[in-house]
Structure 1
């Protein structure tokens, strides 16, 4: 990793913190709020790549662990990481890595715009939704004592918003790819 990689990762950590300023939406079915920070997983992976995207979220987790209120709703601290939302938060690291890997495989400069958008969308769906849910839901079930099938049912409420976030992230990644050709290759 060079200085540019570290700067881009830190920049995306800051972007994710800013996304946390948007107030979370709580729903009655599940003790996990709807936040804009989960869209950062998709953005980081698609725009700055697997390693840098994962590093940006690892830095976020460190900031949360030391108690800084950088999560949506001004939350932070070890209690948050060990609580019901902890699996999703740790899942963000792996999710951004997977998003970046998928984007790197399916999106190339010079492809038609629709194909690039589809590649970014697929990366966002796989890494930003499937991976994060696969880590977050079992954790939530274990920590809260809620049966897994109830957690899955409650998580369905998040799907429409997450699909919208994936479309927004794919559009943003495509715009960055076209608008900032000097941005180093996703890594």
Structure 2
């Protein structure tokens, strides 16, 4: 029984947040929402979806915090956006962003956070950078897929792929690689 419980328990937590006090975890969530907000302001304007560093920051929060705390952090950040705080790309906030053409990408963020965090807890992390990169690429593909499916309702499927997927493939691959490398160096720094 004890062996099976250990087999299920995640073995990865570079920041060791799961063993910290509730106060530290709340501070990590708030700090994560600040990081996510700052990443939103690094923007290259494109229509209909801007290129930002949001997905890079989401991947990092997921990989460093794990799936539970990472997803809670992204949900808190989206809650800030929902109440009108200017935390998304270009200072966007309010309920309208959750109904606009880019909402599918936004809705994918908790999903990709959970996916990357879960994979990181199971070895797809900075100890295995190639697996970390692969997991982040899969998450990026999921983000683009959900985002384009939503966007298609506004501009049609062909235009959604042309405008909402294809231009972002190189950038998402680069952000995934950068996140995997950053994670590898971060894990060396903290000694995980």
TM-score by length of 2: 0.82
| Counterpart contact for 1:64–1:71, Cα < 8 Å | yes
Q: Does 1:86 align with 2:98?
A: no
The verdict on how the C-alpha distance between 1:108 and 1:125 changes in structure 2, with shifts beyond 3 A counting, is closer
Structure 1 residue ranges without an equivalent (≥5):
183-187
In structure 2, list runs of 5 or more residues that go unmatched.
1-17
CA separation in 2, counterparts of 1:126 and 1:84? 22
1:98 aligns with 2:98: no
Alpha-carbon contact 2:125-2:131 (below 8 Å) kept: no
Question: Where does residue 44 of structure 2 map in the other structure?
Answer: 25
Cross-structure match for 2:149: 138
2:34 aligned residue (10, 14, 17) = 14
Find 1:173's aligned residue among 158, 163, 183: 183
Residue 124 and residue 108 in structure 1: after superposition, are their counterparts in 2 closer, same or farther (change >3 A)? closer
Aligned pair count? Answer: 171
Partner residue in 2 for 1:185: none
Report deviation, 1:18: 1.1
| Contact 1:42/1:123, CA 8 A, preserved across alignment | no
Distance in 2 of aligned mates of 1:108 and 1:171: 10
Cα RMSD (Å):
1.9
Q: Which residue of 2 aligns with 1:158?
A: 168
2:5 is matched with which residue?
none
Q: Distance in 1 between matches of 2:37 and 2:94?
A: 15
* Alpha-carbon distance in 1 for matches of 2:137, 2:131: 10
Shift in Å, 1:108: 6.7
Contact 1:39 1:169 in 2 (8 A): yes
Q: Distance in 2 between the 1:104 and 1:79 partners? A: 34
Q: Determine if contact 1:34/1:158 at 8 Å carries over to the other structure.
A: yes
